[in-house]
Amino acid sequence: MPYEYLRDLLNKSKTKIVLLVMDGLGGLPVEPNGPTELEAARTPNMDRLAAEGTLGQIVPIRNGVTPGSGPAHLALFGYDPLQYEIGRGVLESFGIDLPVHRGDVAARGNFCSLGPDGTITDRRAGRIPTEEAIPVVQKLKTIELPGV
């Protein structure tokens, strides 16, 4: 992107801007032919923001390409996600002020629930509360991985 041209677009304003990103909101219906969680939800605050604000949509990469959170967020702030690759591990590291340096690998993961056949049945494991997750994380920290 030719950033030198952006200077011509800058102007001072007293207007306040809120960029509200609802990542992952486009879920699937809970039951076949039923509403999605968002369609079924009561959303008076979102409805009011929509009615009184200015709305917009973007295509973060290209039509037909559904990006992950990292590339989509980069696109929101003007970076070409095809040129600048960044994973959620790095983004979440920055979110908790964990220093990341050149050559580091930042990984992230979720707890999940498995069915009897070993397939994932819930990729968030029922959204385990932090106080329940801490002992599990402490146990995982004791695992030694070669080369890590």
Domain match, 39 and 62 both: yes
* 99 & 134 share domain: no
Structural domain span for residue 80: 3-108
Number of domains in the chain: 2
| Same domain? 53 vs 80 | yes
**Calpha distance 35→93 (Å, rounded):** 35
Q: Do 46 and 73 lie in a common domain?
A: yes
pTM of the shown model = 0.56
Q: Which of 69, 23, 20, 26 is nearest to 46 (CA)?
A: 20
State which amino acid sits at residue 32: P
Question: 56 and 36, same structural domain?
Answer: yes
- pLDDT tens string 16-26: 888 888 877 77
Tell me the C-alpha distance between 92 and 98, whole Å: 9
What are the tens digits of pLDDT across the range 93-118?
A: 988 999 999 999 888 888 999 999 99
Domain identity same for 96 and 73: yes
Same-domain check for residues 16 and 49: yes
